[in-house]
Amino acid sequence: MSSPRLSLRNLSSLPVVLPGVWQADQMGACVQAVQPTGYGALDAQLPGGGWPLGALTEVLQPFAGAHEWQLVLPALAQALACRQGAVVLVAPPHEPFMPLLQPQGLVAARLCRVMAEGASAALWASEQALRCPDVLAVMAWLPQAQPAALRRLQLAAARQGTLAWVFRPVSASQQASPALLRLQVDGAQTMQVRILKRRGPPLPQPIELPGCHPQLAQVLATQAARRLVAQATGPTTPLPTAVTQSEGRGHALDRLALAAG
């Protein structure tokens, strides 16, 4: 006996929602636990309502050091207040300025800074940190990482349920990424956050979040202009002093970015 032919009428009678099936035009349920970002507008657009635990989040930005702390510090402070573990920074572009980080919840005793020499060493350090059960979160600056290397980091983060952020340049958006969540962040006085990849429908408009201190916004604008000149004239064009020199225990940009507005 032959089976009945599947017709358009049969298809129209199927339920709109099938158990265990995610439809690409709907926001998918997050299979991981999440950590709220500290920004309600961003949480509303992320599956589960926050940064995924045990999964890689890739953040693309025009240049390193622009938005990292402003974006992740609220979530880090909440996580540190509730759970044990260290925060590991791998190959950060600047030394974090602890006198401003500490009052916002990131104490020096729970911060580990790894200065890796070269891309391979940074990848190795990131993977080892993600495999460590005593690590709560990893922030890694990996501008040259390839998709295969990021896939290893994704697997390592999944084993321990770690908060994991990888920061890369905007040019990396042309590459495929195994990251569960992929964002692009730009702007100065406000952060313009574009969601490039999530388990849900495309988000055509960026999310506007509070930006950095006005002084930092001015420095960043100057830096962006100098970088455009450097690209046009060659590597001999000097970068602004505020960007290339450290001041005391921390970098000038770190001080400004974390200062109260």
Give residue-wise pLDDT tens across range 173-227: 989 999 999 999 998 778 999 999 998 888 889 999 987 655 555 555 565 566 6
Q: Which pLDDT does position 227 carry in this prediction?
A: 60
Q: Which pLDDT does position 145 carry in this prediction?
A: 93
Give the total residue count for the chain.
261
> Are the C-beta atoms of residues 196 and 83 closer than 8 Å to each other?
no
| CATH superfamily of this structure's domain 29-211 | P-loop containing nucleotide triphosphate hydrolases (3.40.50.300)
Which parts of the chain sit beneath pLDDT 50? 6, 8, 11-12, 14, 17-22, 24-26, 236-261
Place of tokens 């938005």: 67
Instruction: Give the start-to-end residue ranges of the domains of the chain.
Output: 29-211
DSSP 227: H
CA distance 177 to 179: 5
> Are the C-beta atoms of residues 60 and 182 closer than 8 Å to each other?
yes
- Token duo for residue 182: 């992929």
What is the separation of C-alpha 78 from the centre of its chain, rounded to a whole number of angstroms?
A: 16
- Token duo for residue 254: 């770190």
Q: What is the average pLDDT score of the chain?
A: 79
Q: What is the DSSP string of 159-215?
A: HHT-EEEEEEEGGGGGS----SEEEEEE-SSEEEEEEEE-SSS---SPEEEE---HH
